[in-house]
Amino acid sequence: MRPQPWSLTAGILVMLLLILPAAAAESGGHEQIIYISSYGSSYIWNQEIEAGIEAAIADSEYTHVELSIEYLDTKVINDATHFENLYQTFAHKYKTASPDVIITSDDSALIFMDEYGDQLFPDVPVVFTGVNNMSNLPKAGENTAFYTGTLVAVPLQETVDMIRGINPETNVIYVILDNTYTGRAIRTQIDEQTTGYTDTITFLYPETGADISAIRADLADLPETAAIVIITYYLTDQDLTPYHIDEISAELSAASPVPVYSTSSMFNDRGVVGGVQVSPYDLGYDAGTQAIWVLEEAPIRETGPVIYTAEGASIFDYTEMQRFGIQESALPEGSTIINRPPDFITVDRGVAVGVTAVALILGILVLLLIVQNVALTKTRALLTKNEHLYRSVVESQTEMITRFRIDGTIIYINPAYGRYFGLDADAVKGMKFRIRVHESDRERVKAHFAALCAGAAHQIIEQRIILNDGSIRWHRWDDHAISGKDGKVTEYQSVGMDITERKEAEQKIQDSLQEKTVLLQEVHHRVKNNLAVVSSMLEMQAMKEEETDPYVAARIREAEGRIRSMAAVHEELYRSDSFGAIDAESHFERLAHDIISTFPDAAKVSLRVKAENCTITLDKAIPVSLIINELLTNAMKYAFAGQTEGIIAIQMQCDCAKTVLIVSDNGVGFPDGFEPEETASLGIRMVKTFVDYQLDGSYEITTGPDGTSWTIWFPPDTR
Amino acid sequence: MDEDEKQRSVGIVEDEGMIAMLLRELLTREGFNVVCTVKTGREAVDCVRDNNPDIMLMDINLNDDMNGIEAATRIREFSDIPIIFLTAYTDARTKERAEGVRPYAFLTKPINKQMLITTLTQGITG
């Protein structure tokens, strides 16, 4: 029959219930360790060893172990009776106890156990530490227990070498030792370690039984090349009152002119520079670890003692190094430095991380700022270069440049402005300065700036100013208005120049022009008058001839009419504003009226003139007027014969291509067979000559019973 | 001197000799009694004061420091004689000043003979 699964599981559970309590009792039951110290509870050496033992237990799987501590106080009392008394006390105290491991520290405790261990704790393994004298180890066969532990060789030699490394001049070393059993044991070690320095270093020691005052006196006499090594664990004052361990090194160090070193870390932070040191804490931790090993391995006596040797470590006090000017570089490699001013990271890691992050951000920001600064520097350099360029351009200008507020406060003037008005370009900044405007120009200048305030971007004005010496100068200013954010004008920027010479030249030209105008006017007036004189003379001659030969008189009056026509042109020119041309329509009206009015039948003739927007120049006005004179004279003489009324029309059309003059009448037309081209009439031949030669034009004649019309084309004036 | 001659007496003020001569010839031929032919304003004033003609034919622009208008102004101080101004061209300002002395007429040069005679006759007969 095969077993069922549930019955197998139940069997396993029962077995576990039987086994587990036994296993728990075996591995975690009631192990006990008794730690026996050679000294008192207040002794810092002890406290460090205890802390080390407790730390080792805490770090192991035997955290439940009971640790009992006994103090032999052999620094206070150390004789056979004391040990006997202690034995009696322990025998009574631990009568029923069964410790698993005994830990002893220092030589006295080990000696005590060697003497009484078999009786107090038979076969209980012993772990020793801090033993200076190897002869104190139990001899084989003297007891039944298993012994293991750590010997401590005072690392004086290493410390001396280190002192010489720091100060090669060192030739005296004062070693402070007490006269206890331990002190004496250590002295033996020192003597062995210092044999090699006989020629270079003198080792001095306090006299036997010297109290602390005697030692201070010794220290005061030490040379500058000396060093002190403190090793002792027990000193008294003059009253033989024991010094507290904490006070010994501090007081001696304070009294010492030379550095105080130590081979034990227990003096650290108490006035000792440092040294190659044995740490009581490390001794305690090693002892605890060894005790746990004993609990686990349960070694038997026959395996013999397992002995370890403590190793020193280079430890220094930063404060004392500073006191004696010892550089960190002079210390052995790998040295530990205590009391160094804590750096930030050590003080608070969280804050340090935060600060590091902030520092990184700040670093990035600084980097960005540097990059930006570089860019800004380049930009600034470019701006400076451009500023120099523009400034040199502005300041080399011969034109005056200024910028000023509306109240006249100067913001900037260029050197040309300063030179002109006798101002210091730098000193005048911020001062008010106004140009004295000539009284006659003040209203204009006021209107000029009013226009700028009203929104004109810039205005140009030519004005007169009065200088300090009273002289009047002409200026031309190009003023720009500069507005603030609210649109109101706040400043003006002006560029100006002295134009007095130009103005004077202009005035001369104007005066000259005026003079010539007057002269030209006078010329026309004189020509007209002369022609009037000629005309008058001809009229007088005609009047004279009329009595004897009317035909001659008539011919003279025809000539007179031609003279008057020419005079009419000069009359118009004399009266016109422009001497270059005359208005055709008004001239034709006046001319035609004068011509017609000389005839007896003038009243029956109507005159129509149309020459809108036509002007004619002097060189064409004379031939045109003479043509009109001839054609109107002919019309008045022949066209209206037998008619009671008639019309004479003068039209002129002007465009850019040609000028057309039409002179017509509604008279009887040319008589049959009359050919104008072949006639010997002086007047008609003169008309043809004027058209051909002086007008460079052409003409066409239409004639019939309804009248005659002359159409004349000639090129327009090119002036 | 009979009454008709006295009524047709005329004084001529013209600084251009040929024109003055022509006017004198013309008016004389037309039956006027030209009592004086002078060329300055002062002479014109004297002519009126001395001869008291029926009418004065006076050029405005005289080659003198006293023009025709100024001479007419002086004449107006003691006489209401009709004055006909002769001028080649009369601008508005000159005409305005001339009207201050209440001229009978303005005649423009060149002189139209028929118009001159008609105007003089009408000026004398009123």
Do residues A261 and A288 share a domain?
no
- Find, in chain B, the residue whose alpha carbon is nearest to that of A597: B112
Do residues A381 and A330 share a domain?
no
- Give the H/E segment covering residue B12: strand B9-13
- Residue A13 inside a domain? The answer is no
What is the CA angle A129-A292-A277, rounded to 5?
30
Residue type, A498: D
- Residue A320 inside a domain? The answer is yes
Do residues A377 and A455 share a domain?
no
CA–CA gap between residue B62 and residue B111 (Å, rounded): 17
Do residues A160 and A250 share a domain?
yes
**Tokens 């006269």 belong to residue:** A179
The reported pLDDT for the residue numbered A587 is 92
Do residues A407 and A362 share a domain?
no
CA–CA gap between residue A613 and residue A659 (Å, rounded): 12
Q: Which residue has the higher pLDDT, A382 or A573?
A: A382
- Find, in chain A, the residue whose alpha carbon is nearest to that of B20: A536
Residue A287 and residue A150 in contact, taking contact as beta carbons nearer than 8 Å: yes
Name residues whose C-beta falls within 8 Å of residue B126's C-beta, 6 or more positions apart in sequence.
none
- Find, in chain A, the residue whose alpha carbon is nearest to that of B89: A575
- Residue A390 inside a domain? The answer is yes
Do residues A555 and A660 share a domain?
no
Q: Hey, are the CB atoms on B112 and A536 less than 8 Å from each other?
A: no
Do residues A332 and A388 share a domain?
no
Q: What is the ipTM of this complex?
A: 0.82
Enumerate the residues of chain A whose CB falls inside 8 A of the CB of residue B109: 532
- Find, in chain B, the residue whose alpha carbon is nearest to that of A531: B110
Enumerate the residues of chain B whose CB falls inside 8 A of the CB of residue A568: 110
Instruction: Domain of residue A519: give its range.
Output: 500-579
Do residues A378 and A486 share a domain?
no
- CA-based diameter of chain A, in Å? 203
Q: Hey, are the CB atoms on B22 and A536 less than 8 Å from each other?
A: yes
Best mutation target among A521, A536, A547, A601 (most B Cβ atoms within 10 Å) is A536
- Find, in chain B, the residue whose alpha carbon is nearest to that of A595: B112
Judge whether residue A320 has pLDDT over 80.
Answer: yes
Q: Hey, are the CB atoms on B112 and A594 less than 8 Å from each other?
A: yes
Judge whether residue A377 has pLDDT over 70.
Answer: yes
Enumerate the residues of chain A whose CB falls inside 8 A of the CB of residue B114: 597
CA–CA gap between residue A544 and residue A522 (Å, rounded): 32
The reported pLDDT for the residue numbered A9 is 46
Q: Hey, are the CB atoms on A533 and B18 less than 8 Å from each other?
A: yes
Do residues A367 and A494 share a domain?
no
Judge whether residue A144 has pLDDT over 70.
Answer: no
- Residue A6 inside a domain? The answer is no
Q: What domains, with CATH codes, occur in chain B?
A: 3-118 (3.40.50.2300)
Q: Tell me the shortest Cα–Cα distance from B78 to chain A, in angstroms.
A: 32
Q: Which of A571, A594, A597 sits opposite B88 (nearest CB)?
A: A571
- Residue A531 inside a domain? The answer is yes
**CB–CB contacts below 8 A, A to B:** 47
Name residues whose C-beta falls within 8 Å of residue A639's C-beta, 6 or more positions apart in sequence.
A646, A648, A665, A666, A667, A668, A669, A707, A708
CA–CA gap between residue A8 and residue A3 (Å, rounded): 7
Do residues A270 and A352 share a domain?
no
Residues of B within an 8 Å Cβ radius of A = 16-19, 21-22, 25-26, 29, 88-89, 109-110, 112-115
Q: Tell me the shortest Cα–Cα distance from A598 to chain B, in angstroms.
A: 7
Judge whether residue A308 has pLDDT over 90.
Answer: no
Tokens of A660: 């057309």
Q: Tell me the shortest Cα–Cα distance from B125 to chain A, in angstroms.
A: 23
Q: Given pLDDT bands bounded at 50, 70 and 90, which one contains residue A12? A: very low
- Residue A11 inside a domain? The answer is no
The reported pLDDT for the residue numbered A201 is 92
What does the CA dihedral A375, A377, A380, A382 come to, rounded to 10 degrees?
-70
Judge whether residue A7 has pLDDT over 60.
Answer: no
Enumerate the residues of chain B whose CB falls inside 8 A of the CB of residue A532: 16, 18-19, 88, 109-110
Q: Given pLDDT bands bounded at 50, 70 and 90, which one contains residue B96? A: confident
Q: Hey, are the CB atoms on A528 and B88 less than 8 Å from each other?
A: yes
- Find, in chain B, the residue whose alpha carbon is nearest to that of A598: B112
Domain count, chain A: 6
Which residue, among A437, A47, A391, has the nearest Cα to A245 in the 3D structure?
A: A47
Q: Which of B16, B89, B114 sits opposite A533 (nearest CB)?
A: B16
Do residues A178 and A236 share a domain?
yes
Phi, psi of A674 (to 5 degrees): -80, 120
Q: Tell me the shortest Cα–Cα distance from B17 to chain A, in angstroms.
A: 8
Do residues A226 and A266 share a domain?
yes
- Find, in chain A, the residue whose alpha carbon is nearest to that of B15: A529
A202-252, pLDDT tens digit by residue? 998 888 777 778 888 888 888 989 999 988 766 766 666 776 666 778 888
Residues of A within an 8 Å Cβ radius of B = 525, 528-529, 532-533, 535-537, 539-540, 543, 564, 567-568, 571, 574-575, 594, 597-598
CA–CA gap between residue B109 and residue A533 (Å, rounded): 11
- Last residue of a domain, which of A480, A498, A516? A498
Judge whether residue B125 has pLDDT over 70.
Answer: yes
Task: Enter the pTM of the model.
Answer: 0.47
Enumerate the residues of chain B whose CB falls inside 8 A of the CB of residue A597: 112, 114-115
The reported pLDDT for the residue numbered B5 is 45
Tokens of A581: 């041309």
B11-54, pLDDT tens digit by residue? 999 988 888 999 999 999 899 999 999 999 999 999 999 999 99
A348-374, pLDDT tens digit by residue? 777 778 878 888 899 889 888 888 888
- Residue A186 inside a domain? The answer is yes
Q: Hey, are the CB atoms on B21 and A540 less than 8 Å from each other?
A: yes
Q: Hey, are the CB atoms on B19 and A528 less than 8 Å from each other?
A: no
Average pLDDT of every residue of chain A: 84
Q: Tell me the shortest Cα–Cα distance from A395 to chain B, in angstroms.
A: 56
- Find, in chain A, the residue whose alpha carbon is nearest to that of B88: A571
CATH at residue A438 = 3.30.450.20
A591-603, pLDDT tens digit by residue? 999 899 888 888 8
B66-80, pLDDT tens digit by residue? 999 999 999 999 999
Enumerate the residues of chain B whose CB falls inside 8 A of the CB of residue A594: 110, 112
CATH at residue A330 = 3.40.50.2300
Task: Convert A134-165 to b/e letters by CB count within 10 Å (16 or more is b).
Answer: eebbbeeeebebbbbbbbbbbbbbbbbebbbe
Judge whether residue A620 has pLDDT over 50.
Answer: yes
- Last residue of a domain, which of A558, A579, A600? A579
Name residues whose C-beta falls within 8 Å of residue A485's C-beta, 6 or more positions apart in sequence.
none
- Find, in chain B, the residue whose alpha carbon is nearest to that of A599: B114
- Residue A7 inside a domain? The answer is no
Average pLDDT of every residue of chain B: 88
